Amino acid sequence: MKRSLFTLVLLLPFFAIGQVEKPKLIVGIVVDQMRNDYLERFNHQYSEGGFKRMMRDGFYGANHHFSYMPTTTGPGHASIYTGSTPAVHGIAGNNWYDPIQKKKMYCAEDRSVKTIGAVNKDGQMSPRNLRMTTITDELVLSTNFQSKVIGISIKDRGAILPAGHLANSAYWLSDGNFISSSYYMDELPEWVSAFNEEDRVGKWLKGDWNTLLPIEEYKQSLADDNPYEPILADEKAPVFPRNLKKLSAANGGRDFIKRTPYGNSLVLEMATAAVEAEELGADSITDFLAISFSTPDYMGHAYGPRAIEVQDTYLRLDRELESFFDMLDEKVGRDNYLVFLTADHGAAEVGNFSLDNNLPGGYVDVDSLKTAIDQFASQYGMSRKEMIEEIEGNKLYWAHEVLAEKGIDHERLSRDFARMMTKQLGIYCAYPTQNLIWGSTTSYPATLVQNGLYPDFAGDVVWVLESGVIDYGPTGTTHGAPWRYDSHIPLLMMGWGVKQGKSIRETNIKDIAPTISMICHIPLPSGTTGSPIEEAVENSLKSQE
């Protein structure tokens, strides 16, 4: 049984006297790299029971955005579940440089724990780098540790950060198997081991990937064979159908599943198994299942937002969400669960696509930037390597000990460097980070840059690329900017306590957690800076008289 009869008998008076009703299950869904326009562009080809069901029967926030930079996976998941920004919750990037320890950090890295379910280091992960509580933490605390919380994703950070500090478990993929960390458990549950033994990855990679619909119906995408997509090893052209057995053998083996739409299938199969094995939503104590679909991010990076591969991935995900919701309707009850769906960031156009179509954008010239930085350093009688301790992403860290020895004022140096960077092609602006951390600003995009800086890891100078300009290869695309193509993502909510409707008022990613808090009568996460979305909350919330 999920909970002992003795425990439930003891809890009966607690739930019978003045207890506010809550959903039996909350399902949080993050679709990695889902731009909001995918809801509209592909809408006519979606089923009635997936994305359309959420838009029709639930709440659709059509003008939903991030309010910080960098718009990347780690910060995105942390912001959704804490109701705050990197400046508060501390997940300042997927990776960052720690100038105190003088080493690079990964957002979920934890070398104090061990891998569970594999003989490698892929499980040396935990949520300890997350400085604030999550909505999942607050749920567990509000039920005195009775709620079950489980996170599932292909990416470790996509499972760990949403599940929070008090989760029962989080599972992510390593060489085709779901693994975990000793932060949560000493060994995998029997149902997870049994799931892995079925080798579902091997089964998916035996067949071909062809389009779900006739390929001529993919009119919202570019031609199947176009110059903005990569040609994989053992592939003559990036076209359908794809022989997955052949391609996986030449491109990473079992790990290749994440670069096909069947990575989403695998995650939903695992999520369904979790609902059944862990009896999520089986009684009156609210549980939480956090699902993150990583495959759309891998697909978007490889093929860009206008590829048939991406469109087909979303059409397939839509059908699988329909099946998943049908399963929840049957096992938990249509009116007994609450589900929200959003994304951790969007994506830019492929740089060469922008150039070919006379759109603003393209590529930053990294070699020219290095030359400019070398010339700047030479003005102070130093080399770039002497002056700069580290450059991580769009942040620079001075070698402060060297500057002190030479009597160079690092604050003035930061101002001069920022002015120099702003003059470079492809750079929109640059800021001394101390000006943003200790000052205030209302200008755009300075406020978004400010919200993305956690003081301990902020560095000395930060810069922003021009709109549409990316630092990436000739095919595929990336994300991380403050511009709208990276910040505008979906918000769909459906089910228990959610008011049906649509809003075009601008809402923020940090508003999701407090909205869930208000609907479910859960305390706000500790660092919440967002506000509840009133339009999404049913006025007549269920409560015990």
3-state helix, strand, coil in the chain (%, to 5): 40, 15, 45
141, 143, 142, 139: which is closest to 151 by C-alpha? 139
Q: What is the mean pLDDT of residues 143-167?
A: 98
The answer, yes or no, to whether residue 529 has pLDDT greater than 80, is: yes
pLDDT of the residue at 545:
39
Percent share of the chain, pLDDT over 90: 93
The answer, yes or no, to whether residue 9 has pLDDT greater than 90, is: no
Angle between helices 190-197 and 262-277 in degrees, nearest 10: 150
pLDDT of the residue at 8:
42
Band of residue 539 on the pLDDT scale cut at 50, 70, 90:
low
Residue 93 pairs in a beta bridge with: none
pTM over 0.85: yes
Calculate the alpha carbon distances from 251 to 200, 205, 259, 484 in Å: 18, 12, 10, 33
pLDDT of the residue at 542:
46
Q: Which two tokens stand for residue 514?
A: 């407090």
Q: What is the mean pLDDT of residues 482-508?
A: 97
Q: What is the mean pLDDT of residues 440-454?
A: 91
Give the residue, 7 or 151, on which the prediction is more confident: 151
For the chain, the structural domain boundaries read 5-353+483-536, 365-425+427-465
CB 104 within 8 A of CB 96: yes
The answer, yes or no, to whether residue 4 has pLDDT greater than 90, is: no
Percent share of the chain, pLDDT over 70: 95
pLDDT of the residue at 201:
96
Band of residue 26 on the pLDDT scale cut at 50, 70, 90:
very high
Task: State pLDDT tens for residues 336-393.
Answer: 999 999 999 999 999 999 999 999 999 999 999 999 999 999 999 999 999 999 999 9
Residue 52: left (phi > 0), alpha (psi -120 to 50), or beta?
A: alpha
Distance, CA of 437 to CA of 459 (rounded, Å): 11
pLDDT of the residue at 21:
86
Exposure of 127 by Cβ count < 10 A (0-12 exposed, 13-18 middle, 19+ buried)?
buried
pLDDT of the residue at 439:
80
Q: Is 506 helix (H, G, I), strand (E, B) or coil?
A: coil
Cα maximum dimension of the chain: 76
Tell how strand 242-243 and strand 208-209 pair up.
Answer: antiparallel
As a CATH number, domain 5-353+483-536 is: 3.40.720.10
Task: State pLDDT tens for residues 397-427.
Answer: 999 999 999 999 999 999 999 999 999 999 9
48, 477, 42, 40: which is closest to 219 by C-alpha? 42
pLDDT of the residue at 438:
85
Quote the DSSP letter at residue 474: S
pLDDT of the residue at 20:
55
Band of residue 2 on the pLDDT scale cut at 50, 70, 90:
very low
Q: Which residues are catalytic?
A: 73
Q: What is the mean pLDDT of residues 507-523?
A: 97
Band of residue 538 on the pLDDT scale cut at 50, 70, 90:
confident
The answer, yes or no, to whether residue 19 has pLDDT greater than 60, is: no
pLDDT of the residue at 442:
79
**DSSP for 236-298, written as a single string:** SSS-SSEEHHHHHHHTTGGGGGGGSTHHHHHHHHHHHHHHHHTTTTSSSS-EEEEEEE-HHHH
pLDDT of the residue at 12:
40
pLDDT of the residue at 6:
38
Residues 6+ apart with CB under 8 A from 459: 97, 99, 390, 392, 395, 396, 397, 433
pLDDT of the residue at 116:
98
Architecture, CATH, for domain 365-425+427-465: 2-Layer Sandwich (3.30)
Quote the DSSP letter at residue 534: G
Q: In 10 A of CB 146, how many CB atoms?
A: 18
Q: What is the mean pLDDT of residues 191-214?
A: 96
Q: What is the mean pLDDT of residues 445-471?
A: 96
349, 342, 359: which is closest to 305 by C-alpha? 349
Task: State pLDDT tens for residues 103-147.
Answer: 999 999 999 999 999 999 999 999 999 999 999 999 999 999 999
Least confident residue range of 69-83, 135-149, 440-454: 440-454
Residues 6+ apart with CB under 8 A from 24: 281, 282, 283, 284, 286, 287, 332, 333, 336, 337
pLDDT of the residue at 392:
94
